[in-house]
Structure 1
């Protein structure tokens, strides 16, 4: 089938010209208002009349009047066109200043340790922006699901996304509760994990994640076993606190519990470093001001919270 590489004329073509002529009852005054020649106005009206299939104006050498068809067309076209202009102004506002609904897809684990203070300060700085958080472990299709951006661990962000670091690189650490270690000797080497109950994480793909370690610069992965399988880090943290077994977690998640003595860090010398947590979004030519404002807000955070720059 032969493709048509031209844009089909639509029902709105020529309507603005018609409304101007109808208002002024003059092709010449309409042309002056629109900044075109009278002949261009006349030609546009003729094309509109031909497309509609009815004469809209009665033309004489001294005056211009509306036909009955023109009167009916004016009665419905004018309010519709005014609504269209108003809609355009509203849309233009969204493109010129931070406003509207900012939708973010976020894993539940980062909400209390990272996102809540960031969102609170952003909402104070940009009161015209509403922020909607969808807490999910799934790696959603941002465009298909209507999200402006997502937040994920760096290793899970696709290479074709623009990525903005929210944290510096993070260590994955192995922790267990004092009650657990009262009944089990702490592991000294990764091989010792075979004698321990380990809480496992199921990825969104359905696969069970291996535990990753750094052994003198070499990455090793170990399949562990244990009584609990979870699909998010907070559940694994809760299981570790209850003494169900060891958990491998991003260090910031366990930091407060470690300071309080509720968890104990083991295998510290084998802790691998991950890229950290990133804000990511599709590589678009034009970013809506609400998202640009959020990105700038992330970048303006106090020093010491990570080197923030856009990559991808």
Structure 2
């Protein structure tokens, strides 16, 4: 039995997104057309591939097995087709890049916009999350992480200078609860917590000004947590706690007086963001264009 490759690709996108609506938007087809394609595959195979409810869709055991086996095969096909662009020196294809919210929105947002404007034929999929992943195993073309977190067997390209961190709070919060003088005083304050993908809370790190190079780790305490910095920034502006975050996230609020920088002499700097990817990608015109647009230029 020969399956239509377009139908199989539709199956993969639905399985990955868990939604006919999202899959249809990605593929530029209607939800009903996708549903018809999936039903056709199930009827021809005589196997149910998805559990469907009025609110959600998920793969059955058979559907998950099919997804796990087909996904790398289709990725390899896409990669081989992308590599052919080298022969006509064209920049086309698909890029799946894993990073975090801060990298995509604050540190590199303008560069990604320029890349998409310059190369409109490139399908760009940016996946923002906090967890550390194996980009090869999870079928990403590249990842963006701080330099110290980049796998040693990858090609790494520096994208930004050092990343300065800071502590901020609103004038109202500091007027009501006082200003901490050292990170040790944070135990007496309401901290806005950055929730990690594993359910834990991100520690806050500082450099001891009396002992340069000594890193002080603080486990913040508070009643408000979120897995995105922009949400916590809004709570900080509203006077509901102290926020520890990259400086570029709150520079505008600091200039306007909505937030006040505190504990500045304890501020920590991290190594900058790097793009990393397997060495087999380095000669692709698509990757050369991406690196050229994102890399740090001094």
Q: Same fold (TM over 0.5)?
A: yes
Counting only pairs closer than 5 Å after superposition, residues 34-53 of structure 1 correspond to structure 2 as none
Q: CA deviation at 1:88?
A: 12
Query: What is the CA deviation profile of residues 130-179 of structure 1, one whole-angstrom value per residue up to 9, with x for unaligned ones?
Result: 22222223333322332211222334333333222221111111111112
Equivalent residue number for residue 14 of structure 2: none
Equivalent residue number for residue 132 of structure 2: 139
Specify the SS of the correspondent of 1:130: strand
Specify the SS of the correspondent of 1:174: strand
Q: How many residues align?
A: 216
Contact 1:148 1:291 in 2 (8 A): no
Among 228, 232, 239, the residue aligned to 1:236: 232
Equivalent residue number for residue 265 of structure 1: 261
Counting only pairs closer than 5 Å after superposition, residues 191-210 of structure 1 correspond to structure 2 as 191-210=184-203
Equivalent residue number for residue 243 of structure 2: 247
Q: CA deviation at 1:214?
A: 0.5
Question: 1:91 and 1:156, CA in 2 relative to 1: closer, same or farther beyond 3 A?
Answer: closer
Equivalent residue number for residue 291 of structure 1: 287
Q: Any gaps of 5 or more consecutive residues in structure 2? A: 1-77
RMSD: 2.5
Contact 1:106 1:151 in 2 (8 A): yes
Question: 1:88 and 1:257, CA in 2 relative to 1: closer, same or farther beyond 3 A?
Answer: closer
Counting only pairs closer than 5 Å after superposition, residues 1-312 of structure 1 correspond to structure 2 as 93-96=84-87, 97=89, 98-216=91-209, 217=212, 218-284=214-280, 286-299=282-295, 303=298
- 2:119 and 2:188 mapped to 1: Cα distance? 53
Q: CA deviation at 1:120?
A: 2.1
Q: CA deviation at 1:110?
A: 2.8
Question: 1:88 and 1:281, CA in 2 relative to 1: closer, same or farther beyond 3 A?
Answer: closer
Q: Any gaps of 5 or more consecutive residues in structure 1? A: 1-86, 304-312
Q: CA deviation at 1:286?
A: 4.7
- 2:149 and 2:81 mapped to 1: Cα distance? 36
Specify the SS of the correspondent of 2:186: helix
139-148 or 249-258: bigger deviation: 139-148
91-100 or 127-136: bigger deviation: 91-100
TM-score (norm 2): 0.65
Question: 1:115 and 1:293, CA in 2 relative to 1: closer, same or farther beyond 3 A?
Answer: same
Contact 2:97 2:142 in 1 (8 A): yes
